[in-house]
Amino acid sequence: MSDLLFATNNQHKLREIQEILGSDFRILSLRDANLDIEIPETQETIEGNAAQKARFIYEKTGMNCFADDTGLEIDALDGRPGVYSARYAGEGCSFDDNVEKILMELGDTQNRKACFRCVICLISDGAEYLFEGRVDGVITMERRGSDGFGYDPVFLPDGHRQTFAEMPPYLKNGISHRGRAAEKMRKAMGK
Ligand code: ITT
């Protein structure tokens, strides 16, 4: 089974990717590679950040690796928080602070359309590939559920009655932005 190092410090993402790809690849964490480092993320696009994170870890290790950059894009907020999803409520903020901020900004706005967009950048034997996954939905009026992470308690995917935080992980992974991007990567790698 081939090894793939996942360039992330987000343990929730790591768990999801291990569940999605674990039967075809041995997904290694930064900890498995004895790396305890901050990964720079200073670009202005999701694609740019995914590539920056993957290149940084590839240069450090020379190992086949990939990174995931994800943004929640809300129509009524002109696409925010988008590329700023991680620290939308400020440096050092929690997932809950970010959720609070978007709920406050939306207030009782009727147009609650949003999408999650995930770009995975894979570096395999020195060559670079990008894979995108997207899921459309709406932002609920209040938090629902305790599974998942980030904005999951307020994201209701189209065609479903449960938010991502109410769904069992296999269901979220089966329809999510990350699941879709990871499936494209799996296919491109011939699995
Ligand atoms: P790494 O860069 O170390 O991978 P990060 O948490 O900084 O971790 P991103 O910049 O890609 O990763 O993520 C932006 C934020 O978007 C993340 O912190 C969450 O708040 C949110 N997010 C990402 N994926 C999500 C998901 O599947 N469900 C809910 N929120 C998510």
Average pLDDT over residues 135-164: 98
Contact 111, 76 (CB under 8 A): yes
Known catalytic membership, residue 24: no
The rounded distance, in Å, linking the Cα atoms of 56 and 73 is: 26
Which pTM was predicted?
A: 0.97
What are the phi and psi torsion angles at 175 (to 5°)? Answer: -125, -5
69 CA to middle of ligand 1, Å?
7
Check pLDDT > 90 for residue 82: yes
- What is residue 190's predicted lDDT score, i.e. its pLDDT? 93
Query: Mutate which of 117, 136, 151, 163 to test ligand 1's pocket (most atoms within 8 Å of Cβ)?
Result: 151
Q: What is the DSSP string of 114-172?
A: EEEEEEEEEEETTEEEEEEEEEEEEE-SS---SSS-TTGGGEEETT-SS-TTTS-HHHH
Whether residue 26 has pLDDT greater than 90: yes
Q: What is the CATH number of the domain that holds 37?
A: 3.90.950.10
Q: How far is the CA of 71 from the centre of ligand 1 (A)?
A: 7
pLDDT digits (tens, 9 = 90+) for 96-120: 999 999 999 999 999 999 999 999 9
Number of domains the chain contains: 1
Candidate list 3, 24, 32, 69, residue with the active-site label = 69
Q: Which atom of ligand 1 lies nearest, measured to the CA of 53?
A: 2
Nearest in space to 128 (alpha carbons), one of 59, 177, 36: 59
Atom 8 of ligand 1, nearest CA residue: 10
Q: Which domain holds residue 124?
A: 2-188
Using the predicted structure, report yes or no on whether residue 1 has a pLDDT greater than 90: no
Q: Residue 65 burial by CB count (10 A; 0-12/13-18/19+): exposed, middle or buried?
A: buried
Residue 73 CB less than 6 A away from ligand 1:
no
What integer is the mean pLDDT of 163-189? 98
